[in-house]
Chain A
Amino acid sequence: MKLGKILVTSAWPYIQHVLHLGNLLPILSADVMARYYRLKGHEVLFVSGSDVHGTPVEVEAVKQGVSPKELTDKNHELVVELFKKWAISFDNYTTTESPVHKEFVMDFHRKVAENGYVFTQESELPYCPNCKRFLPDRFVEGECPYCGYKGARGDQCEQCGRLLDPTKLIDARCSICGASPLFRRTVHWYFDLPRFSDQLREYITNNKQFPDNARNFSLRFIKEGLKPRPMTRDSDWGIPAPFEGAEGKTLYVWFENVLGYVSATIEYFKTHGDPDRWKEYWFDKDSKVLCFIGKDNIPFHTIIFPALLLATHEGYNLPWNVSTNEWLNFEGQKSSKSRKIGIWIDEALEMFPADYWRYTLMANRPETSDTNFTWKIFLEKINSDLNDTLGNFIHRTLTFINNYYDGKIPKPEKLDDIDRKMLDAISEYFKEIDENLSYFHIQAATRKVIELAREGNRYLNEKKPWKTIV
């Protein structure tokens, strides 16, 4: 049987800071699945990259007094090294400043515009008289008109996940200087998203892989009525908007970073001397595109990205699954760099080996609701699960063979009921773990591996092979 190709992707992290453990979840989940599919014999390509554009980076660069390019060049190098230390098995981890990406994105949007899905519209947008600039996205903060969250940003409320329009923010202020913005008229290019409502509803409803959180959020979003989305920003940092008359405007990050899944595939095959093979991943109908994201990225992956792919009329594969994790809190609180809450991926490795964290994170992967990282749980996972159960089982078994059989696997004796029960347990667990992973239930799979080791310990205690040997 020919196994289909699988493109594994994880959301492109903004790299205004190094990532914290919560930010790592989609990347780590993608790595687990990429490794699993490779072992199963699939042809796998695992791609992602640093999202170096966008206002989070710009705001942080302004705060640090450096250019966005300086900030992101430095951080990109840093996270590339860290991902190696975490054993994230990327085939291509690139950046949104890559020439291949920029060229692909501009060509792509020219096509979307040619197909008639882009129109211009004048609107009033927040402008800071102090900083003398428009305030796109994270440059403006205020209260969310839907849920009342005080720190909502111009493009999205972190609390309720809804996409926002900066004019709707209550008590808006400039996130650099705190001034109340003026509203100035400016022209922007819009993507005609509502025209895809029916196709998207059908795609989401028929997709059997989507986890409930992604499906429910997306269907509600469509039901509330899709609106045209502005694709451009009055900002210098980003990919130039490739539309006629749009000089000086750049593309909104979410209209280019998701296209990075395609451009990173192109880049991979270009550098490997096979420039056309990327098409096998994006157009062959037995290939699958698999996205791993955190829940704040749902609408961009289930709505905007598929709509953009549809808008080319070229028959791109749409995401086969968008595996979405909930939040990982730290001792009951949201991770926050400024408030020093949480653990960052560089610090973690200074404390303990990567596998200790990988195991703890996957055994607590927040799949259906938020989970909590506590030191208590960490100690339990490492000491009881890894050390006492898994480590002990492997070590005692190998030491036993080394001590009593000169390190050679002995000839099996006649099987009794206990042996047969253990053999059954092995195939049963193996089947379950396989099944869990094929449904993206990574947390359950991780836990079952340990349970199998627990069965192994129980078996050894029951059989006491050291007694019969002497």
Chain B
Amino acid sequence: MLEPFIPFTAKRIRKYLNLPAKLPWEDAVEPLKEGHKIKAAKPIFEKINLSEEKLQEMLEEVRSSMQKVSFKEFSKIDLRVGKIINVERVPGSKNLLKLTIDIGAANPKTAVAGIAKYYKPEELLNRQIAVVVNLEPRKIFGIESEVMILAAQHGDNVVFIQPEKPIAPGSKIR
């Protein structure tokens, strides 16, 4: 009787009951024969332990993860490997570090990044890192940030992204 409404579930239940895939409608109220062997059953559904607000958040997260970017749009972003050649603290800020990054061009570029809480300046020096080099520059704490470094975040855990093996600064990431 579930087949018209929830066919996936009906299929699973037929499997547990050890019944063929096709059964006529009237058989829904036919008792199983004595001695008919059934199979082990797992719980059929899973309870959703989320609040209404959390469900709405979940929907919005799913929506943004499904937003498709065309290849043309994606190719506009110039991603390169950079090498951090200088690190300074930004006076007056607990979060920011000023990085000087060699991106293979004549002049190194400046990035202002909010990673002071996660890395000490000396841990970053001479490391290779993924960089977006063609973002519009913007002023952060009075310093012009010309490029942006990439990092991964999970709650309070923040790590920067580096190439698996060293490669020449300026190498294109694609």
Contacts and interface: CB of A to CB of B under 8 A. Distances in A.
A426 B26 CA distance: 12
Contact of B52 (A36, A340, A374, A430): A374
Contacts of B34: 408-412
Interface string B21-54: 0011100110111111111111111111010100
Given A35-B4, A408-B36, A430-B29, A394 B52 contact: no
A388 B42 CA distance: 14
A344 B59 CA distance: 10
A437 B6 contact: no
A154 B25 CA distance: 47
Contacts of A376: 52
Nearest to B49: A383
B13 interface: yes
A411 B31 CA distance: 11
Interface string B62-81: 11011000000000000000
A40 B33 CA distance: 22
A328 interface: no
B62 A394 contact: no
B58 interface: yes
Contact of A351 (B5, B29, B52, B62): B62
Contact of A390 (B28, B33, B37, B44): B44
Contact of A379 (B17, B24, B41, B55): B55
B7 A355 contact: yes
A368 interface: no
Nearest to B17: A398
Given A355-B7, A358-B5, A375-B56, A398 B38 contact: yes
Nearest to B7: A87
A353 interface: yes
A408 B39 CA distance: 9
A395 B44 contact: yes
Contacts of A446: 5
A417 interface: no
A33 B50 CA distance: 33
Contacts of A36: 4, 25
A452 B56 CA distance: 32
Nearest to A433: B1
Secondary structure at chain A's binding surface: helix, strand, loop or mixed? helix
B55 A391 contact: no
B64 to A, nearest CB: 10
Contact of B46 (A351, A387, A411): A387
Contact of A387 (B6, B45, B59, B66): B45
A33 B25 CA distance: 12
Contacts of A352: 48
A62 interface: no
B144 interface: no
Contacts of A386: 44-45
A425 to B, nearest CB: 11
A355 B6 contact: yes
Contacts of B41: 394-395, 398-399, 402
Given A387-B46, A395-B44, A379 B35 contact: no
A382 B59 contact: no
B54 to A, nearest CB: 9
25 contacts: A33-B4, A35-B4, A39-B24, A346-B66, A347-B62, A347-B66, A350-B62, A355-B7, A356-B45, A358-B7, A359-B5, A375-B56, A383-B48, A387-B47, A390-B2, A391-B45, A394-B16, A395-B41, A402-B38, A408-B36, A409-B32, A430-B29, A433-B1, A449-B1, A449-B5
